[in-house]
């Protein structure tokens, strides 16, 4: 098992992304077939895993998660992620910010008005503004 810590902490490793507004963990996990990664889910956080290569098995839930699928993890559990095949998984963990979310395709904003404006900007070619 190899765990790349992109943000947050795991065991003795600290990720390079720091000073975030919300404390979070972001791990890139590589599993060999038959290996098991154990992770403690903390009640105050929300945890999601996304399999981007191979497939995994969640023994506690008796669920298989295939490539390009995600799973929300339960609270307060020791989660076991077993490699059904060689697999690569992203694991996100963070405190909920309890803010409104308005989603349209690839764009997520905090109000409907902001979402409409973002699509107007996108359609006008001004969504991404270069800072000079």
**What pLDDT does 95 receive?**
85
CA distances from 86 to 31, 91, 130 (A): 6, 16, 41
Q: What are the tens digits of pLDDT across the range 26-56?
A: 999 999 999 999 988 877 788 899 999 999 9
Over range 97-114, report the average pLDDT: 90
* 3-state DSSP assignment of residue 13: strand
Please state the pTM of the whole predicted model: 0.74
Q: What are the tens digits of pLDDT across the range 87-104?
A: 999 999 988 888 889 989
Q: What are the tens digits of pLDDT across the range 50-80?
A: 999 999 998 887 889 999 999 988 776 788 8
Domains identified in the chain and CATH numbers: 2-94 (2.60.120.10), 99-132 (no CATH)
Q: What are phi and psi of 89, to 5 degrees?
A: -135, 140
Model confidence at 121, pLDDT cuts 50, 70, 90, reads very high
CA distance 87 to 80: 14
């Amino acid at each position: 098992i190899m765990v790349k810590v992109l943000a947050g902490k795991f065991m003795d490793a600290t990720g390079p992304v720091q000073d975030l507004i919300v404390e979070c963990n972001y791990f890139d996990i590589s599993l060999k077939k038959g290996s098991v990664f154990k992770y403690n889910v903390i009640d105050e956080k929300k945890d999601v895993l996304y399999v981007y290569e191979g497939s995994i098995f969640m023994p506690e839930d008796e669920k298989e998660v295939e490539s390009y699928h995600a799973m929300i993890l339960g609270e307060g559990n020791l989660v076991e992620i077993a490699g059904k095949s060689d697999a690569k998984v992203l694991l996100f963990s963070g405190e909920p910010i309890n803010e409104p979310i308005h989603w349209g395709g690839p764009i997520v904003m905090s109000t409907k008005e902001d979402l409409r404006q973002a699509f107007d900007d996108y359609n006008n070619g001004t969504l991404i503004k270069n800072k000079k």
